[in-house]
Amino acid sequence: MSFPLLTATAVVPAVGAVATAAVPAARRAAAKWLALGFSLATLVLAAVQLVRFDPDAAGPFQLTESHAWIKDFGVRYELGVDGIAVVLIALTALLIPFIVLAGWHDADPLEGASPNWRWRPTQGFFALILMVEAMVVISFEATDVFLFYLFFEAMLIPMYFLIGGFGDRAGERSEEETAAQRSYAAVKFLLYNLAGGLIMMAAVIGLYAVTADQLGMGTFSLQEIVQARADGRLDLAPAAERSLFLGFFFAFAVKAPLWPLHTWLPNAMGEATAPVAVLITAVVDKVGTFAMLRFCLQLFPEASKWATPVIVALALVSIVYGALLAVGQRDIKRLVAYASISHFGFIVLGIFAMTTQGQGGATLYMVNHGISTAALMLVAGFLISRRGSRLIADYGGVQKVAPVLAGTFLVGGLATLSLPGLAPFVSEFLVLVGTFSRYPAAGIIATVGIVLAALYVLVLYQRTMTGPVKDGVRGMPDLRVRELAVVAPLIALLLFLGVYPKPLTEIIDPAVGHTMSQVEKSDPKPDVPVNEAEAAK
């Protein structure tokens, strides 16, 4: 048996979580370094996955592992990655070290707190982050529906504690008030996602019942179900397929989040510390959109096509609505949250446009949005930690006192508004063109998002960074070495992937082609294809 690389990529952060949690209360610093070390080790494993992955290999999944688990219910421990999963795992593994580093002091005990505080917040904070990483990674790897479901849901537990347990320093608000708001946000997060999960659980059981009924033996294996459908051994009635599809889709739409199920996100991202907000929107939420591609489309291709018009409409609403709400925010972190809702609209739109450019673009969008939001949100977090306020109105003239902070904030913002030359432009344009070639009207409406993104980003920049220096901003220190070490690589990556995204598109493309063939869709042909030879050259 070869080395179980996929299992290892999930187990390493899980072990790291346990080890970090076990560090004695007095050795806080050691816990941080331990967490950073484990997150880097995971990054190495993810890089090995990327290297060993062969984009041109036949078959949908690679590096597969398969073991019987719960025989009575046909549950298997089945892992495998396609081009989409492997880049998302790489994104996750890449972002976690930055999240750890950015949150270095976020869980330090408050000044004046007793040194032998029985609850060890620092250890807990970093252990929870690693735990989330482990669960996200295995969710991307699982090709058994039950296995996926288990970790998709289990992820809520560490996330709940991360949101509810750690927040920004209260600043001008009272500790009690912030604690109450935090706990409201955490509970809202939990209930929304739990509701989605419960509905999905019903659908998972339903899927089992159908397979048990028609195949004689129930199964959760994605490949087996897809194969059985192709052979005609499994034939879902339209009504059954649609209700199962909706069950799955609902859970993913909550997580993604899609309008109107989005309202938990601004609360969660607003109350959590900036690194945890990045963890939510850049990492955890990606499981939702990823699962739409992997499970909704592949398990229920007919129902996916049936639901497409409605989903495209909801995605468009998300794009425009999220952006307009972002414009109206007074709180920096909530603004970024609504911007993310708009961006998730683009991702869902690209997936359901059912074109190579749309789905390839959506996958690339997941990666690029992860990096760009991390850059913007983490710098916003550094800014907030200096002033102790999330309100835009409390800032002004920061570029005068902290030019590097302002400059990196601007680059993060420009990435968020998809400026050409930075990575998000490529994916956004692919989604737009992929959508436009199938649904011209939807493509045109989505371009409104381009203008609105410029509005919320530049208004945010103008209000916080330009103008006369405000009182609370005076004397604000510029980015420190640790902070620069977080931001600079992210910016470099945004530039690199904006100029040369080919390494990623080469990996993603075949996987998207496979998904497209599952739903039996092919790209629309141009009206008057000119000079194919010329075009190819």
Q: Is 405 left (phi over 0), alpha (psi -120 to 50) or beta?
A: alpha
221 binds another protein (CB under 8 A): no
Size of residue set near another protein by CB under 8 A: 95
Q: Are the beta carbons of 366 and 289 closer than 8 angstroms?
A: yes
User: Who's near 210: CB < 8 A, 6+ residues apart?
Assistant: 234, 236, 240, 244
505 binds another protein (CB under 8 A): yes
Residue placing its CB nearer to another protein in the complex, 66 or 466: 466
Residue placing its CB nearer to another protein in the complex, 7 or 183: 183
User: CB 410 → another protein: shortest distance, Å?
Assistant: 9
475 binds another protein (CB under 8 A): no
444 binds another protein (CB under 8 A): yes
Residue recorded with tokens 């295995």: 138
433 binds another protein (CB under 8 A): yes
Q: Are the beta carbons of 377 and 278 closer than 8 angstroms?
A: yes
Applying CB under 8 A, which of residues 437, 479, 483, 486 lies at the interface with another protein? 437
Amino acid at residue number 176: E
Residue placing its CB nearer to another protein in the complex, 98 or 338: 338
517 binds another protein (CB under 8 A): no
What does DSSP assign to residue 524? P
DSSP string, 366-390: HHHHHHHHHHHHHHHHHHHHHHT--
Amino acid at residue number 438: R
Applying CB under 8 A, which of residues 24, 475, 477, 524 lies at the interface with another protein? 524
534 binds another protein (CB under 8 A): yes
Applying CB under 8 A, which of residues 22, 70, 393, 441 lies at the interface with another protein? 70
Residue placing its CB nearer to another protein in the complex, 275 or 498: 498
414 binds another protein (CB under 8 A): yes
CA distance 526 to 307: 25
328 binds another protein (CB under 8 A): yes
User: Who's near 308: CB < 8 A, 6+ residues apart?
Assistant: 352, 354
Find the binding residues for another protein in span 255-274 (CB under 8 A).
259-261, 263
User: CB 233 → another protein: shortest distance, Å?
Assistant: 27
User: CB 451 → another protein: shortest distance, Å?
Assistant: 5
CA distance 295 to 145: 8
Find the binding residues for another protein in span 122-181 (CB under 8 A).
150, 153-154, 156-157, 160-161, 164, 180
Amino acid at residue number 277: A
